[in-house]
Chains A and B, each alone.
Chain A
Amino acid sequence: MEAARIAGGGAEKAATAAPAIRFDGVRVAFLMEGGAFTAVERADLDVADGEFVAIVGPTGCGKSTLLNAAAGLLAPSAGKVEIFGSRLGQLNRQAGYLFQTESLFPWKTAIENVAIGLEIAGVSRAKARIQAREWLRRVGLAAFADRYPHMLSGGQRKRVGLAQVLIRDPKILLMDEPFGPLDAQTRQIMGNLLLDLWSADRKAVLFVTHDLEEAIALSDRVVIMSAGPAARIIGDWRVELPRPRDTAEVRLDDTFHRLHREIWHALKDEVMKGYAQAGGVA
Chain B
Amino acid sequence: MNRGTLLLLQLLVAFVVLVLWHLLTTIPVSGGKPLVPPFFFSTPLDVIARIYKWFSEGTIWRHLWITLTEATLAFIIGSIAGVLVGFWFARQPRVAAVFDPYVKMSNALPRIVLAPIFTLWFGLGILSKVALGVTLVFFIVFFNVYQGVKEVSPTILANARMLGMSEQQLMRHVYWPSALSWMFSSLHTSVGFAVVGAVVGEYLGSAAGLGYLILQAESTFDIAGVFAGMFVLSVFVIVIDILVTVVERRLLVWRPVSAETQK
Neighbour of A120 across the interface among B173, B178, B256, CB < 8 A: B173
- B162–A102 touching, CB < 8 Å: no
Complexed CA–CA distance, A109 and B253 (Å)? 10
Q: A117-B164, A120-B173 are in contact. Are A106 and B158 (CB under 8 A)?
A: no
Q: A73-B161, A120-B169 are in contact. Are A102 and B254 (CB under 8 A)?
A: no
Most chain-B Cβ atoms within 10 A of its Cβ — which of A106, A109, A168? A106
Total number of B residues with any Cβ neighbor in A under 8 Å:
22
Closest Cβ–Cβ distance, residue A137 to chain B (whole Å): 20
B148-169: CB near A (< 8 Å → 1, else 0) gives 0000010110111111111001
Q: A106-B254, A120-B173 are in contact. Are A91 and B161 (CB under 8 A)?
A: yes
B174 close to chain A: CB less than 8 A = yes
A108 close to chain B: CB less than 8 A = yes
Neighbour of B165 across the interface among A96, A106, A120, CB < 8 A: A120
Most chain-B Cβ atoms within 10 A of its Cβ — which of A117, A120, A168? A120
| A71 to chain B: closest residue by CB | B162
Q: A101-B155, A105-B173, A148-B254 are in contact. Are A117 and B161 (CB under 8 A)?
A: no
Segment 147-186 of A: residues with Cβ below 8 Å from B = 148-150, 164-165, 168
B177 close to chain A: CB less than 8 A = yes
Task: Give the residues in chain A near B206, CB-CB below 8 Å.
Answer: none
- B164–A93 touching, CB < 8 Å: yes
Neighbour of B158 across the interface among A97, A164, A165, CB < 8 A: A97
Complexed CA–CA distance, A71 and B164 (Å)? 12
Task: Give the residues in chain A near B169, CB-CB below 8 Å.
Answer: 120
| B177 to chain A: closest residue by CB | A107
Task: Give the residues in chain A near B94, CB-CB below 8 Å.
Answer: none
Task: Give the residues in chain B near A92, CB-CB below 8 Å.
Answer: 162
A95 close to chain B: CB less than 8 A = yes
Residue ranges of B at the interface with A (Cβ–Cβ < 8 Å): 153, 155-156, 158-166, 169, 173-174, 177-178, 181, 253-256
What 6 pairs across the A-B complex have the smallest Cβ distances? A103-B159, A148-B254, A150-B256, A107-B177, A97-B162, A117-B163
